[in-house]
A = this chain, B = another copy of it.
Amino acid sequence: MQLFNRDVISQAVQLDHSALEAIENGFRALGRGEVIQPPILSMNIEESNGEVDVKTAHIRGFERFAIKVSPGFFDNPKLGLPSLNGLMMVFSAKTGLVDAVLFDEGYLTAIRTALAGAIAAKHLSRENSRRVAVLGAGEQAELQVKALQLVRDIDSLDVWARKRDSAEAYVERMRTLGLTVNVHDTAKAACAHADIIVTTTPARTPILTAQDVPEGAHVTAMGSDSPEKRELDESLMTRADAFVCDTRAQSEANGELKAFSRPARQGSDDSSGSNSFGADGKPPFKVYELGRIIAEGQRLRLSDASITVCDLTGTGVQDTAIANFALARLME
């Protein structure tokens, strides 16, 4: 059994085309029905404002599967510690023995999450996408843009974040990438000319509506990953020409589809008066899954004016894919 720490792992694995391919292959296998992916194990520790998620998946034929533990303890910054953390255990799929533990402190999760955004944009955004709007200013705001550069020739970045100073600090960090960068006062202003929009916030009420999104844009919403969070207004999801998610079950439980699930709606104060969805609690649009699109080569963008949306909640198959990729690199 081998142990690896974050330093070694982050030297071995970066945002590059090989890593992207590894994650894309994971999604493809998922779309082909070649993946066993149980529901997420999730535990809240309210007394410390903490939560922990455990994800896993096995890709048929793969030598190893990962079990990934992601703690998020949101009072940690007061103690000078990062909120997010975690590790991946890598097991032999033949014997169940532990082959390695990757003490990556959440690094590989950040990488595979950013790569999923790039994969969504690769399959859904216009090929000539140049201008990216990012809502949010955290770690993923940074990594999503860097990952998008693997698949599109990005030349400018428009930013909005709830806290103006966070947005300014983020933009400073991004200056090295050679992009034209601008901070905006509203999400709508940031998105006004965007080809690709990435929402990467912990919002609990929608921050993006149909009216904010220009024709032809692709939206990747990757902030919502728990029952309380959501970023997209129902109007946008209903307006979109294609709605894609990483897995339907997770999008309904933790992602944007929960806006249309019955329990969520019953509990919510539906002041929007929106009622375009069916009485059966199902969304009034077809729900696609990213893996199926990749596996079947589906083209959901029918014109340059199409609006596409992809909701990413983070899947076990990405963890198994990145862990296998990392371990192969580390053992070289």
Contact = CB atoms under 8 A, between A and B. Distances in A.
Copies of this chain, count:
2
B69 A95 contact: no
Contacts of A331: none
Nearest to A71: B96
Contact of A67 (B52, B76, B103): B52
Most buried by B among A81, A98, A103: A98
A89 B89 CA distance: 10
B36 A45 contact: yes
B54 A73 contact: no
Contacts of A47: 60-61, 93
Interface in A25-81: 36, 38-45, 47-48, 50, 52, 54, 56-58, 60-61, 65, 67, 69, 71-73, 76, 79, 81
Given A41-B56, A48-B94, A81-B97, 15 more contacts: A3-B3, A38-B42, A38-B43, A43-B56, A45-B65, A45-B93, A47-B93, A50-B95, A52-B96, A71-B91, A73-B94, A73-B95, A76-B95, A76-B96, A79-B95
Contact of A41 (B41, B50, B91): B41
Interface of A: 1, 3, 36, 38-45, 47-48, 50, 52, 54, 56-58, 60-61, 65, 67, 69, 71-73, 76, 79, 81, 85, 87, 89, 91, 93-98, 101, 103
Contact of A54 (B56, B60, B101): B56
Nearest to A91: B71
A182 to B, nearest CB: 36
Contacts of A38: 41-43
Please list the 3 inter-chain residue pairs (A to B) with the smallest Cβ-Cβ separation, ordered nearest first: A71-B96, A41-B41, A73-B96
Nearest to A40: B41
Contact of A52 (B87, B91, B94): B91
Given A41-B39, A58-B43, A48 B95 contact: yes
Nearest to A58: B45
A3 B93 CA distance: 23
Nearest to A67: B69
Contacts of A44: 36
18 contacts: A38-B41, A39-B41, A43-B58, A45-B58, A45-B65, A45-B93, A47-B60, A50-B93, A52-B65, A52-B67, A54-B54, A54-B67, A71-B95, A73-B94, A73-B95, A81-B95, A85-B95, A87-B89
A180 B48 CA distance: 52
Nearest to A3: B3
Nearest to A98: B87
